[in-house]
């Protein structure tokens, strides 16, 4: 809503300011650091040259021209600034009207209409554990999908599974030497992980195993039937387990086209690079020299002719653009891969793909364990499924202790437990590294998902006490008189609610879901103060409806914010 208010003020200022366009004026309007200085401020320093006056005098003249404007309770100059104080009840009434009209759509926009965004996220490796490290790409990507969808974009959700590469040569060799069919069927990921770990232990004693693994992967790549059959089985069994985690998180994908999907598309990509003359031979391998861009060469084919991640990523990017004609292709992948994506996008540009400027790498920090870094090779991981199930179990215990079991007990425990894990992941800036701690993840006190969910349930509880009033407000039959709840704390809360659409747009612009997370935490904190300080259910109907309008606005905005994070908003807790 800040954007609309700035544009309105800019429209008024354009009539009295010389030498600046409306767009320039909009860009100059500031939000003061302290509300005692107004809701918006316009600096007049830039006008001194064109208007040939001291900035302070210009500010004084401009402020005088706003007398009687109903949008403002006061417009005054402070030195060289024009400070605008909004008519608070009118501003609050606008916010309520918009929320009543838009409901679940409040905070969204149509800014993305007609544009397509592909988001590549989660992308676990087949036959390896879906561990706590994968949660970052999974929930950041899912939240970005929801944010861009909320802004009107057509979003394609891609799970680019790690289902190809030398690791599968290792897995096949390990299975043939030490594997057991029944174990894989019973516990696919844990069994396959144990084989993978054993392979690396044995390869330290016998390096020839690495050569055998490379040769086995080459057979797989060349379409050998036995290797293909084993690979497909590992993939199918792994996906069953992955989908159980995705179901718990409420996450869906439009495409599971992993690396293997592009194996028959690699030659076309290689031919295109060859025809453009950008491939070179280097020590028997094939590379794209990126020296001009101050990057190391991109290794496209090894000296044995096998392909690499980047080869498959080039083929994938070409396919996605041909298939979806995307405006943006977003890759939610750890910051460790920064160089890879710089090379990938540069190679695409060298191939004449002008759309490569729409390819974006969204990096995030790494997760480590309290006793060191995770390592799949050593079997040192925390399974994501275990984290989610433990969070739900702890929530069951807390609810049982506080309020006992009701008909929604299991549903609430699942929503709050899983919500706690997801919310924590999205509460800090994505680029920060962090250490996974069971205690912190399962701590529901403080600025957490359960705190925000409980605030939503608390607001829902208040609204259940006055169903007729709520129905009248939500139907638009009543326009609450916001002068009846006019105080600084309520205005701060309503202003924050009014800024929710700006927070959503900022989250999209920065590819940063934590902007939404922090915003709804702030709303929850101010609403809880309102709840403690203000008696909502009073005898006077007009006053009661004005206060209920604040509750409706807070509840809807928190629900919409939680939805963008992929977190449920329980009506009761």
Fold of 2-86: Gyrase A; domain 2 (3.30.1360)
Distance CA 403, CA 392 (A): 16
Enumerate residue ranges in the chain where pLDDT < 50: none
The whole-number pLDDT of residue 366 equals 83
CATH 1.10.730.10, the chain: domain bounds = 384-565
In the chain, CATH 3.30.1360.70 covers: 2-86
Q: Phi/psi zone of residue 386: left (φ > 0), alpha (ψ -120 to 50 degrees), beta?
A: alpha
- pLDDT value at position 145? 98
pLDDT at 467: 97
- DSSP state letter for 366: P
Domain with CATH 3.40.50.620 in the chain: 121-266+305-369
- Long-range Cβ contact pairs of 527-533 (< 8 A, separation 24 or more): 527/455, 527/459, 527/493, 527/551, 527/554, 527/558, 528/455, 528/458, 529/489, 529/493, 530/489, 530/490, 530/493, 530/554, 531/458, 531/459, 531/462, 533/489
pLDDT at res. 323:
97
162-186 pLDDT per residue, tens = 888 788 899 999 999 999 899 998 8
Q: Under CATH, what is the fold of the domain 384-565? A: Isoleucyl-tRNA Synthetase; Domain 1 (1.10.730)
Closest C-alpha among 39, 38, 43 to residue 17:
43
Give pLDDT, residue 276.
96
Q: What whole-number distance in Å separates Cα of residue 148 and Cα of residue 169?
A: 38
- Domain spanning 121-266+305-369: CATH superfamily: HUPs (3.40.50.620)
**358 φ, ψ to 5°?**
-90, 0
Q: Would you please indicate which residues are annotated as catalytic (active-site) residues?
A: 128, 131, 134
């Amino acid at each position: 809503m800040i954007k609309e208010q700035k544009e309105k003020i800019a429209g008024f200022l354009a009539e009295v300011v010389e030498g600046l366009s409306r767009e320039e004026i909009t860009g100059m309007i500031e939000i003061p650091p302290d509300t005692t200085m107004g809701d918006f401020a316009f600096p007049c320093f830039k006008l001194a040259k064109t208007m040939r006056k001291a900035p302070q005098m210009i500010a004084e003249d401009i402020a005088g021209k706003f007398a009687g404007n109903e949008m403002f309770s006061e417009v005054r100059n402070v030195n060289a600034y024009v400070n605008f104080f909004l008519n608070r009840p009118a501003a609050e009434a606008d916010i309520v009207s918009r929320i009543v009209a838009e409901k679940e759509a409040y905070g969204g926009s149509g800014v993305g209409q007609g544009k397509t965004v592909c988001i590549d996220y989660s992308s676990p490796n087949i036959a390896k554990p879906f561990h706590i490290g994968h949660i970052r790409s999974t929930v950041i990507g899912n939240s970005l999908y929801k944010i861009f969808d909320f802004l009107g974009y057509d979003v394609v959700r891609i799970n680019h599974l790690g289902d190809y590469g030398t690791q599968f040569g290792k897995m096949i060799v390990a299975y043939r030497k030490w594997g057991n069919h029944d174990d894989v069927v019973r516990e696919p990921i844990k069994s396959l992980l144990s084989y993978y770990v054993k392979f690396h232990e044995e390869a330290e004693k016998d390096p020839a195993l690495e050569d055998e693994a490379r040769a086995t992967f080459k057979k797989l790549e060349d379409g050998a039937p036995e290797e293909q059959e084993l690979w497909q089985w590992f993939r199918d069994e792994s996906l069953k387990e992955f989908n159980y985690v995705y179901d718990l998180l409420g996450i869906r994908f439009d495409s599971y086209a992993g690396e293997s999907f592009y194996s028959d598309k690699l030659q076309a990509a290689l031919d295109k690079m060859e025809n453009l003359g950008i491939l070179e031979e280097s020590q028997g391998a094939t590379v794209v020299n990126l020296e001009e861009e101050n990057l190391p060469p991109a290794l496209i084919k090894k000296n044995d002719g096998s392909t690499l991640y980047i080869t498959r990523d080039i083929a994938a990017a070409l396919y996605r653009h041909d298939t979806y004609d995307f405006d943006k292709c977003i890759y939610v992948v750890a910051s460790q891969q920064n160089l890879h994506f710089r090379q990938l996008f540069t190679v695409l540009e060298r191939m004449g793909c002008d759309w490569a400027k729409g390819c974006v790498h969204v990096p995030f920090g790494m997760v480590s364990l309290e006793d060191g870094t995770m390592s799949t090779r050593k079997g040192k991981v925390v399974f994501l499924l275990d984290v989610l199930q433990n969070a739900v179990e702890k929530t069951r215990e807390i609810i049982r202790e506080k309020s006992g079991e009701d008909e929604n007990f299991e549903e609430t425990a699942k929503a709050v437990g899983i919500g706690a894990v997801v919310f924590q992941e999205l509460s800090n800036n994505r680029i920060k590294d962090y250490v996974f701690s069971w205690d912190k993840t399962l701590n529901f006190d403080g600025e957490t998902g359960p705190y925000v969910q409980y605030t939503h349930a608390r607001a829902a509880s208040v609204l259940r006490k006055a169903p007729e009033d709520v129905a009248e407000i939500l139907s638009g039959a009543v326009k609450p008189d916001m002068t009846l709840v006019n105080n600084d704390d309520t205005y701060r809360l309503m202003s924050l609610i009014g800024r929710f659409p700006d927070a959503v747009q900022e989250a999209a612009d920065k590819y940063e879901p934590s902007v939404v997370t922090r915003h709804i935490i702030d709303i929850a904190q101010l609403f809880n103060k309102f709840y403690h300080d203000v008696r909502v259910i009073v005898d006077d109907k007009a006053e009661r409806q004005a206060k209920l309008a604040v509750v409706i606005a807070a509840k809807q905005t928190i629900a919409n914010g939680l939805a963008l994070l992929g977190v449920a908003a329980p009506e009761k807790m």
